[in-house]
Amino acid sequence: MNISLSARQTWPLKPAILITTLLSGFMFSLYGQSEFLLQANDLWQILIAPDSNNIKQQIILSLRLPRSLVACLIGFNLGIAGLLMQGLTRNPLASPTLFAINSGAACLMALNSIGFIFFSGLPSEVATFLGALLGGGLVFLLGGGLRSNNNILRLILAGIAINGLLTSLTRAALIIADDKAYSILHWLSGSLSEVDWQSWSQLWPVSLVALLLAFSCSRGLNLNALGEQTAASLGINVTWLRIRVCLAVLLLTSISVTLAGPIVFIGLIAPHLARALFHNNHFVLLPASGLLGAALVCWSDLLSRTIVPGAETPVGIVTALIGTPFFIYLVLKGKL
């Protein structure tokens, strides 16, 4: 009884620490690593004495604030998307990166950028959505990801094969692009350097719809963890659950890739950390995975401005440097 009571008393510390980590990262990202020597006091001055002629305040409001908001929401999206995929397939390896959703979105975005005949003139949001659908759909089709008792190894092999194909097509687009190759390559690395308030206005409406759809799947995912037959016997329409989850994942991933490029490993790391902290209830796991993803991208973006003084490392490279050893750790610990 004492142990149980102690656990209940310490549980509220976990979300408090999580929210504090995110908020501190958000605050630091607003003024950290700036050539104009921004300080925390500049944030306070915006609240108590706003001045449209103050260059520091204008930098924070017009450049740093939209970038930090976009970083947090993209991280939130990718954390949720990874958890949805893992919950649907009951596969701990499932993520937008490993299941070719990111590479599919990036491939069609690159083909669209060079004016490839079949995709010329498509809005970038449509191109990335179709690419995410293509990549994820092929992996799920070849790997049997939507079948009951899906084979994890088969899904992994299908993901490796489709990722390789789409990556090769993306590289071919870079060769053809020539003068546009650098900007495409920079985008493919996952970068937040060019986001602004317009990016935020494109991101939040699609994200809101997708997140509402994702949270509506919480009960179904809890029951799906017991097995599809059990979920169906308890009143869950498994086919409709699959459709909603897949649509939410595609929307969350495609809009995020459109604005920042493929930021890898967030969809793998955040759900595992959330489960370590909050166990297996998707009503709690979904917001926890989102907050962890937001914190990871926010802190990674801050770190990307720190690694090379006077320059900026794409945030996707930073998340890859964090995610690769984390993935190896999971394998060595037998978590996968």
Q: Where is mean pLDDT largest: 153-157, 200-204, 253-257, 310-314?
A: 200-204
Task: Tell me whether residue 129 is in a domain.
Answer: yes
pLDDT of residue 202: 92
CA-CA distance, 190 to 145, in Å (whole number)?
27
CA-CA distance, 236 to 231, in Å (whole number)?
5
Contacts of 190 (CB under 8 A, 6+ apart): 260, 261, 262, 263, 264, 314, 315, 316, 317, 319
- Tell me the Cα Rg of the chain: 20
Task: Tell me whether residue 118 is in a domain.
Answer: yes
Task: Tell me whether residue 18 is in a domain.
Answer: no
Chain segment 78-129, per-residue pLDDT in tens: 999 999 999 988 888 788 887 888 889 888 888 887 777 566 677 877 888 8
Question: What CATH number should be reported for the domain holding residue 195?
Answer: 1.10.3470.10
Contacts of 253 (CB under 8 A, 6+ apart): 77, 78, 81, 96, 101, 102, 105, 132, 267
Q: Provide the domain count of the chain.
A: 1
pLDDT at 217 over 90: yes
Task: Tell me whether residue 169 is in a domain.
Answer: yes
Q: What is the mean pLDDT of the chain?
A: 85
In the structure encoding, which two tokens stand for residue 177, read together?
A: 């692009």
Task: Tell me whether residue 6 is in a domain.
Answer: no
Task: Tell me whether residue 144 is in a domain.
Answer: yes
Task: Tell me whether residue 294 is in a domain.
Answer: yes
In the structure encoding, which two tokens stand for residue 325, read together?
A: 């050893």
Task: Tell me whether residue 3 is in a domain.
Answer: no
CA-CA distance, 121 to 291, in Å (whole number)?
35
Of residues 96, 102, 85, the one with CA closest to residue 261: 102
